[in-house]
Amino acid sequence: MKILVTGGLGFIGSHTVVELLDSDYEVVVVDNLSNSSIDVKDKIKEITGKEFNLYVEDVCDKVKMDEIFSKELPDAVIHFAAYKAVGESVEKPIMYYENNLLSTLTLCEVMEKYNCKKIVYSSSATVYGSPKTLPIKEDFPLSTTNPYGTTKLMNEMILKDVSIADKDFSVVILRYFNPIGAHKSGLIGEKPNGIPNNLMPYIVRVASKELKELSIFGNDYPTHDGTGVRDYIHVVDLAKGHLKAIEHAIPGIKYYNLGTGTGYSVLDMVNEFEKINGVKVPYKIVERRPGDIAECYADPSKAYEELGWKAELGLVDMMKDSYNFILKQKEDK
């Protein structure tokens, strides 16, 4: 089976490409390198010993996507390509709506033209807004607190309507909680451009002395220590969830939470990182970030019952692999 992966050189995309290649899928990647690096292609080859076709193009470009589909004729698509920073989406909503919605609309049009009727979509726990109870189940009410989350929810709605209009179309929506960690090899991991928006890349850059201190956005949330609580999942576990989704995709639409079911606060994460890796992470408390919520963790039981998937890697693996990746990046410079 040939899988086209949009955003396949990004953090989650690259780990999913590794798992796909290791499972003998044929892989085609489309990535515009807006938040990824071309050298990830060679890293993936080094890990897997396998080649794949890469197109450095924008998924929003319908002409280019048409050319790629006509040449490659993929059997299924895994769609990662999107802008993904909550804070930035609040500052630049139009940019987020234009990119994140147009890429999905373009993809759906081209998939229809070339009779490619299976898609796994990279959604997010942000579609649950600020949940009234925890843990979060897939049938909870949906709402959003920031434009990034709204684009994810709108794309879910687009894909649902596509699946209703075409009874042969298979959609699997994967709602991620907070992916962290890196590949055991240290060759690929989360490497955002500029100051990181997500917690773990920020922690590792402070631990490795690239940045002076961590900014913790608010310590007055109604949580056990006042800092935000999230469900952190190892990116390799998350990547494996996409393979399960491809294997179990059937006509219609299905929704799955991919998380561990356990919530950790920002200060929990800092303290655990220091303990596991034996380094200090200086931090300061700053104002809350627009669009953030107090607490968010999954009930991942549906993914286990229907896909046979569950998170296998714990916090120690996440912390060690994240730090190993940044140290290896420094060595390679």
Give the pLDDT of residue 87: 83
CB 21 within 8 A of CB 50: yes
Is residue 291 predicted with pLDDT exceeding 90?
no
Query: Is 199 within a domain?
Result: no
Q: Which helix (H) or strand (E) holds 315?
A: helix 315-332
Distance from C-alpha of 228 to C-alpha of 201, rounded to nearest angstrom: 17
Q: In the predicted model, what is the mean pLDDT of residues 83-112?
A: 96
**Confidence band, pLDDT 50/70/90 cuts, at residue 28:** very high
pLDDT of the residue at 86 = 85
Give the model's pLDDT for residue 216. 97
Residue 194 has pLDDT above 80, yes or no: no
Using CB atoms within 10 Å of the CB of residue 97, give its burial: 0 to 12 exposed, 13 to 18 middle, 19+ buried.
middle
Which helix (H) or strand (E) element contains residue 66? Answer: helix 62-72
Tokens found for residue 263? 């919530």
Residue 209 counted as domain residue: no
**The pLDDT of residue 192 is above 80:** no
Please tell me the predicted confidence (pLDDT) of residue 331: 83
116-162 confidence digits (pLDDT tens): 999 999 999 999 998 989 999 999 999 998 999 999 999 999 999 99
Cβ neighbours of residue 124 closer than 8 Å, sequence gap 6 or more: 148, 149, 152, 175, 176
Instruction: Tell whether 195 is covered by a domain.
Output: no
Residue 146, classed as helix, strand or coil, is: coil
Q: Hey, is 131 helix, strand or coil?
A: coil
Q: Is 12 exposed, middle or buried (0-12, 13-18, 19+ CB in 10 A)?
A: buried
Mean pLDDT for the chain overall: 96
Residue 112 to residue 327: CA distance in whole angstroms: 44
Known catalytic residue: 148?
yes
In this model, does residue 105 exceed pLDDT 90? yes
Domain hosting 102: range is: 2-180+232-259
Three-class secondary structure of residue 143 per DSSP: strand
What is the model's pLDDT at position 77? 98
Nearest to 79 by CA among 123, 20, 38, 27: 123
Residue 223 lies in a domain: no
Q: What is the CATH number of the domain that holds 174?
A: 3.40.50.720
State yes or no: pLDDT of 6 exceeds 80.
yes
Which H or E element spans position 235?
helix 235-248
pTM: 0.96
| 3-class DSSP assignment, residue 321 | helix
Residue 71 — φ and ψ, nearest 5°?
-80, -45
- What's the pLDDT band for 197 if we cut at 50, 70, 90? confident
Between the CA of residue 52 and those of 21, 27, 117, 215, 272, what are the distances in Å? 8, 6, 22, 39, 38
Count of structural domains within the chain: 1
Residue 41 lies in a domain: yes
Angle between helices 40-48 and 11-22 (to 10 degrees): 30
- Whether residue 27 has pLDDT greater than 80: yes
Residue among 25, 147, 19, 46 at smallest CA distance from 95: 147
Q: Is residue 102 a part of any domain in this protein?
A: yes
Q: Which residues contact 271 (CB under 8 A, 6 or more apart)?
A: none
Catalytic residue among 25, 148, 202, 323: 148
pLDDT category of residue 59 using cuts at 50, 70 and 90: very high
| Least reliable range by pLDDT among 138-152, 184-198, 211-225 | 184-198
Residue 17 belongs to a domain: yes
In a domain, 30, yes or no: yes
The 10 Å Cβ neighbour count of residue 250 is 10
pLDDT in tens, 231-258: 999 999 999 999 999 999 999 999 999 9
Instruction: Give the model's confidence band at 330: pLDDT under 50 very low, under 70 low, under 90 confident, else very high.
Output: confident
Specify the higher pLDDT residue, 331 or 268: 268
Residue 267: predicted pLDDT:
98
Query: DSSP for 172-201?
Result: EEEEE-EEE---TTSSS----SSS-SSHHH
